[in-house]
Chain A
């Protein structure tokens, strides 16, 4: 790794001077921005005025700044571009904080522009002043307070480079009002050398060769893929497919990595971790070589650390050197872009002597098929016409009926049981289609995320698989959906509980359902109608398919209130503090889990 010193360098002469707000928009256009998600206020009025006078950038007016960030996240995740957010000072900026941390945890490239009081007033507790750079420092990859007009354009250009480079993430630019009102010089992107260029990492060929040699020596190899592959771009997903085809090894994925490898392929074992499949978790436990590709050994994945994949040689590919050996000690750490490193692995695989453990690989697959035969996601749906719908049934049918439409489909979720069921039942064939809050687990993510995805892909089918409790956290976005006539399909899996909380209370706290009942819910059908959308409700099994189909066929926004069984739990489940081979597979085993230790209770 080599680095040079010095701050952002200006390479060229300044050519034009414009009002700061116009400099800002011009820099955004040069960075390829076509949409901004935002909400106005006093400190950003000059920027809104400049937006009014141009037609390169479209502004999408959300109903809450947190939603602006989630919408921009989904826009970024589903397009591969940098998402852009614009908020006012003070409460506008503080409302954005949750979204920024969400983007930080899930490595989503964003640039958030916030208004600020004029520089002479900073520090005076002026109206709507907040120490925005101070508040957002730990939730952004980097942030700026632009104090001088000449710093404006370079900051914008560098911010995009930082958001995109390495492990992507959110960058905030705080813009005092005197900077956006006053004149500022414009400089081109190519005149700025961002400090990201200080870090140049060349893949270590020798380490790749050693890693591939270990894979060739392995008899039970497993790929464990993560969101890094999605971030690397669609090319990386292609390369993963080639690598798997070449080696014949099984693949499991984290929540964030779903779609990088086709979910319908036999070699895909499903998601691993806390709510992962039986076959994925037992394979992780039993493998002798574990190849982590753009994944970070998150605690939802590893379970009890000292029992995580105990006998495997571990290879870890990550673009961020600080991830390697952070949680799990690995035998071979490869720093670099995961797509590029997988391509080099393929080269190396072809160069090295042929794989000599074909018979053992077959035995490995036979073992995996044995696990798979258990059909760990099965659920007993009563088939009577008026039977209560199980949440799993609802989610499976949403998936299957959406698939039958043949349309390009984007799926967002809220947070809870429905999110985990969606991760289990939806089988994605392509990357960038799955939009969920992984690292932070932010309730209220799904509805604004659907807004962002539909804005980015106006002709695609965009669905939000939601819980009744989470949806209420950003329900105001129905207004945004109405204003822009976004034909989003919202499926509320309404179990009248914060289901995931109820499940943990059942398991760990003697079924004392403290404050987890969703009381006094609104009439979601009327709620949808009051926001100019179509509202549907289904309560019995025999109407489920028809209702979902009706929603999918409608060309406007639809909210479907699917009233489901209240007591279902999400399985398989590795209770906190347990190992992968201590999975609870269903309600029958739940009783024995009453023995979850005090240490387990302390974990989240």
Chain B
């Protein structure tokens, strides 16, 4: 049998904004043994009736295809697009990164933050909270660099994604 390679995929959904809808999606992943790396959800239409859910998952091509068809079966789900499979897309997230240090490490942290275009959204004599937006990779490397410089806490939003160009999730 051929061994399929695993990769990660960004799946975007439009979902009726009703109680239980998110639970249904999350339980589908846990119940069938699929994995969720990150998940974001918020209403996106003018009346607050439809939410967009972005899920980063990993798996073989066929298991990701399975995830997609399983998601399509859910009643409150009106649209499912595997952005990774459909062409170029933008995927970005935000992180809040707290660094507690003084002296040389503190100046070094500030210097790296500037290089990454991270903003210091809270500053005290002994700490910074940096806000950084970008790709998951960029956030990962920023956090790695902060680790020896007094990193104490991280809060990340998970990925929001959208396809490039004039196309929308509606017309795939």
**Which A residues form the contact surface with B (CB < 8 A)?**
1, 3-7, 133-134, 137-138, 141-143, 145, 162, 166, 195-196, 198-199, 306, 320-322, 324-326
Contact = CB atoms under 8 A, between A and B. Distances in A.
Given A137-B27, A145-B19, A322-B70, A5 B79 contact: yes
B78 interface: yes
Contact of A137 (B18, B20, B65, B72): B20
Contact of A195 (B31, B62, B66, B75): B75
Given A5-B50, A137-B27, A322-B70, A198 B78 contact: yes
A326 B66 contact: yes
Contacts of A324: 69
B72 A321 contact: yes
Contacts of B23: 134, 137
B33 to A, nearest CB: 13
Interface string B66-83: 100110110110110000
Contacts of B78: 3-6, 195, 198
B49 interface: yes
5 contacts: A6-B78, A138-B27, A195-B16, A324-B69, A325-B66
A33 to B, nearest CB: 21
B170 to A, nearest CB: 8
Contacts of B49: 6-7
A3 B75 contact: no
A3 B62 CA distance: 23
A197 to B, nearest CB: 11
B62 A325 contact: yes
Counting chain B residues whose Cβ lies within 8 A of the other chain, the interface size class is 20 to 34
Contacts of A138: 27, 31
B20 A145 contact: yes
B115 interface: no
B24 interface: yes
Contacts of A196: 75
Given A4-B78, A322-B70, A137 B1 contact: no
Main secondary structure of the interface of B (DSSP, over half): mixed
Contact of A322 (B14, B18, B73, B75): B73
B77 to A, nearest CB: 9
Nearest to A1: B72
Contacts of B66: 322, 325-326
Contacts of A5: 14, 16, 50, 78-79, 170
B69 to A, nearest CB: 4
Contacts of A195: 16, 75-76, 78
A141 B66 CA distance: 17
A6 B14 CA distance: 10
Contacts of B20: 133, 137, 143, 145
Nearest to A306: B1
A325 B19 contact: no
Nearest to B24: A137
B151 to A, nearest CB: 38
Nearest to A320: B73
Contacts of B76: 7, 195
Nearest to A7: B16
Interface in B29-68: 31, 49-50, 62, 65-66
B99 to A, nearest CB: 40
A322 B72 contact: yes
Contacts of B1: 306
Contacts of A321: 69, 72
A134 B72 CA distance: 20
Nearest to A199: B72
Contacts of B75: 141-142, 162, 195-196
Contacts of B72: 1, 199, 321-322
Contacts of A134: 23
Nearest to B17: A7
A197 B62 CA distance: 27
A322 B27 contact: no
Contacts of A141: 75
B69 A322 contact: yes
B79 A3 contact: yes
Nearest to B16: A7
Nearest to B78: A5
